[in-house]
Chains A and B, each alone.
Chain A
Amino acid sequence: MLGPLVWLPMVGVGLFFLPGLDGRRLRHVALAIAGLGFLWSLVVALQFNGQTAALQFVQNLDWLAPLGLNYRLGVDGLSMPLVVMTGLLMLVAIYCTEPEVDRPRLYYIMVMLIYTGVIGAFLSQNLLLFFLFYELELIPLYLLIGIWGGPRRNYAATKFVIYTALSGVLILAAFLGVVLLGGARSFDYDGQMASGLSMTAQLVLLGGILIGFGIKVPLFPFHTWLPDAHVEASTPVSILLAGVLLKLGTYGLLRFGLGLFPEAWAAIAPFLASWAVVSVLFGTFSAIAQKDMKKMVAYSSIGHMGFVLLAAAAATPISYLGTIFQMVAHGLISGLLFVLVGVVYKKTKTRDIDTLKGLLNPERGLPVIGSLMILAVMASAGMPGMMGFISEFLIFRGSFERFPIQTLLCMVGTGLTAVYFLLLVNKTFFGRLPEAFTNLPEVRWSERAPGFVLAVLIVIFGLQPNWMARWSEATAVDAVKSVALVRPAMAQLPGDQVSVYSN
């Protein structure tokens, strides 16, 4: 069941070498592969049983048994929504690729490698296998930024690869430490594999995991690669970066940080919550100061990913469910924002907030793109009725009981999100359209389509959150059980036992 999700893109790579395929046809082939992958992920999701926290559709094959490396795949309520979202955003990213892209064969091969790497990482139930998939997306993304990026692409790509390589080293070291110090016979994932370690060893290994995945999330102060990468990357790569690749970081924190080291996690949870506050406020204030639309969205990602750390630190069933919602919500919303910024840039040739004005003009501007942008920023600012509201609400509700001060400070961050996004909309879309932008090229419906699809999903899941919650509720309750057990008896809160969401 899960094998095709991982390997379909690799099979598709073979099709790119068929003779007679020009850039346009290669794009169609890539779209067909991504479409099939997305449909398959929906088939898996429909058969997924959300009532249990156990791994489902497990595949277990011996591979390099002496090394402890087995091909072990499985899906649970944490990875299921991320797999479906990855399938959708891959489809959107390929759809948003220019048909006349340079070196199309290499480009689509790189995209497919990322597809396999990300899905494989989400489904891996063996630490080494996860690491292999995690590293698989490093070089393709480096090339996607370095070859198809903007003027400072070499700097941005090199910075990205150094940071991510460092992240990989730390994660591998932590995984090796867990297995070698814990005395496990293989790298197969088991929530108990670090339970026999001393608290000092757990804290050291958890430190490696936190910094390793903190780079990928990214969390302050390991974030400086992200704004550069976003600014230099093309629109489809930005969609992949924000929508899919950052989620590997948050997924890793939950699966391997909270999952493997519940005791150490509970011990440093107040520090993690405070770190989340710094990350949220730093990202948010930096976003306010931006003049480049893309850089503003990039800094907003740093802020929004900080919410995930806050909720993970709180580790209550509601906050854990909030982290899953936030990952998917951020994937869809940031994907939408980058799609729209890409269209604005394509039509106006600038992303400068001080230069753009009046783009909501109904006759000569970009009224539909502007309307979608308003919806996207409302969703990002957590307006009710949209997915961003549900995720942030769950996070704050689940975290407040454990870290009230930190939660309130993060809520200030949400308020400030509205500030910078309203500044963005106010400056670029309202007012009188300058003479320079009165003859903008027409926006075709095909260019609007990805934005519409993402906007509809953001609203649908905002109004019907339990369609997603039913996948993850049991996992959320189960995942924080071990943390709740190790907390001091006085620190036990009613939220540790409550039913999470649906009745």
Chain B
Amino acid sequence: MPVVLTRLDLLPSLGQVKPLVVLLVVASGAIGVAIGATTPLTRMLSRPLQPQRRFMQDLLAYDFYVDRFYERTIVRLVGLFSTAVYWFDRYVVDGIVNGVGLASIMGGEALKYSISGRSQGYMLTILLGIGLLGAFLSWSKMGF
């Protein structure tokens, strides 16, 4: 990883590192270690009786309930949204595609009844087709 980052020229140079930020990060870690190492683990501290302290302890022990909050908001939201998106894909996008396919089949089925054997019917169809094509071409020519 460091090799890749170096090759991509992504690692900041030492000149860009801010000493104050480094000091604060290291100091906060060191203070935490010092408090943890010097605080005796008394019975009262391990499970206090007062509700406020108990609440505070649980709040810290369960990481401010971030996991449960995350589970009940983001995870549930993503789950619901993904289900909705897949429903849309399956029934709307794919439904339109299948609908077009079905319409083509039904159109073909319906057209077979137009085969009457009368030549004037065929002539009318051809004339209508040419007329529509001509109208479309002249319209598109004007459009361009």
A interface, CB within 8 angstroms of B: 159, 162, 200-201, 220-221, 224, 282, 285-290, 384-385, 389-390, 393, 416, 419, 462-463, 465-466, 501-502
Contacts and interface: CB of A to CB of B under 8 A. Distances in A.
B142 interface: no
A419 B81 CA distance: 13
What 6 A-B pairs are tightest by C-beta distance, nearest first?
Answer: A288-B82, A289-B86, A285-B85, A285-B82, A289-B82, A224-B94
Given A200-B144, A221-B93, A419-B78, A286 B1 contact: no
Contacts of B144: 200-201
Residue from A162, A201, A285, A462 having most chain B Cβ neighbours under 10 A: A285
B20 interface: no
**For chain A, what secondary structure do more than half of its interface residues adopt (helix, strand, loop), or is it mixed?**
helix
B78 A416 contact: yes
Contacts of B7: 465-466, 502
A357 B98 CA distance: 35
24 contacts: A201-B144, A221-B93, A224-B89, A282-B85, A282-B89, A285-B81, A285-B82, A286-B85, A286-B86, A286-B89, A287-B82, A288-B78, A288-B79, A289-B82, A289-B86, A385-B1, A385-B4, A393-B8, A419-B78, A462-B4, A463-B3, A465-B4, A466-B7, A502-B7
Nearest to A394: B8
A162 B82 contact: no
Contacts of B81: 285
B59 interface: no
Contacts of A393: 8
**For chain B, what secondary structure do more than half of its interface residues adopt (helix, strand, loop), or is it mixed?**
helix
Contacts of A224: 89, 93-94, 97
B73 interface: no
Nearest to B75: A419
B4 A390 contact: yes
Interface in B49-104: 78-79, 81-83, 85-86, 89, 93-94, 97, 101
A364 B83 CA distance: 34
Contacts of B101: 162
Given A221-B93, A224-B97, A286-B89, A463 B78 contact: no
A159 B8 CA distance: 43
Interface string B102-144: 0000000000000000000000000000000000000000001
Contacts of A162: 101
A296 to B, nearest CB: 11
Interface residues of B, number: 18
B93 A384 contact: no
Given A224-B93, A288-B78, A416-B78, A384 B86 contact: no
Contacts of B93: 220-221, 224
Given A200-B144, A224-B94, A224-B97, A285 B4 contact: no
Contacts of B78: 285, 288, 416, 419
Contact of A384 (B4, B82, B85, B97): B4
Contacts of B4: 384-385, 389-390, 462-463, 465
Contacts of A290: 86
A270 B101 CA distance: 33
Nearest to B100: A162
A289 B83 contact: yes
Given A285-B78, A384-B4, 15 more contacts: A201-B144, A221-B93, A282-B85, A285-B81, A285-B82, A286-B85, A286-B89, A287-B82, A289-B82, A289-B85, A384-B1, A390-B4, A393-B8, A501-B8, A502-B7
A465 B1 CA distance: 12
A466 B3 CA distance: 12
Nearest to B8: A393
Nearest to A466: B7
Contact of A286 (B3, B8, B79, B82): B82
Nearest to A419: B78
Contacts of B1: 384-385
A290 to B, nearest CB: 7
Interface in B1-44: 1, 3-4, 7-8
B83 to A, nearest CB: 5
Contacts of A288: 78-79, 82
Contacts of A289: 82-83, 85-86
B8 to A, nearest CB: 7
Contacts of A220: 93
Contacts of A286: 82, 85-86, 89
Contacts of A466: 7
A221 B94 CA distance: 9
A224 B81 CA distance: 19
Contacts of B89: 224, 282, 286
B86 A285 contact: yes
A277 to B, nearest CB: 14
Contacts of A200: 144
Contacts of A390: 4
